Amino acid sequence: MNNLLKTFISVFFVVLVIANAGIFVVEIKSSTEITKMETELDSLRQSNIDLENKLGEVGSLEYAASMAAAMDFSKKAVPTYLDSLKYALNR
């Protein structure tokens, strides 16, 4: 009985060591994937900042004025105000 118990315990420890090694390999693969994702996330953040800056430039009045001048727009729009009852009552 004592011999059987020792064999069982040694087999159990071998199984635990193999399981620990397998878990270690899976953790290394997961760590590599996480590092890759973090790098991609940093790249996307930088790209987002660049796009926000470009959007700020394109949305500015200075950009609109320069594009209007480049496209030779010279007529200024006459605003329509909705204070008149003609527009409010749709007549």
In the predicted structure, residue 83 carries a pLDDT above the cut 70: no
Rounded CA separation 18/15 (Å): 5
26 or 80: which leads in pLDDT = 26
CA dihedral of 23, 29, 35, 40, whole degrees rounded to 10: -140
- Tell if the pTM clears 0.75, that is, is over it: no
| Helix, strand, coil % in the chain, rounded to nearest 5 | 80, 0, 20
Q: How many domains, the chain? A: 1
Q: Provide CB contacts within 8 A for 82, sequence distance 6+.
A: 88
Question: What tens digit of pLDDT does each residue of 10-54 get?
Answer: 999 999 999 999 999 999 999 999 999 999 999 999 999 999 998
Domain region containing 57: 2-88
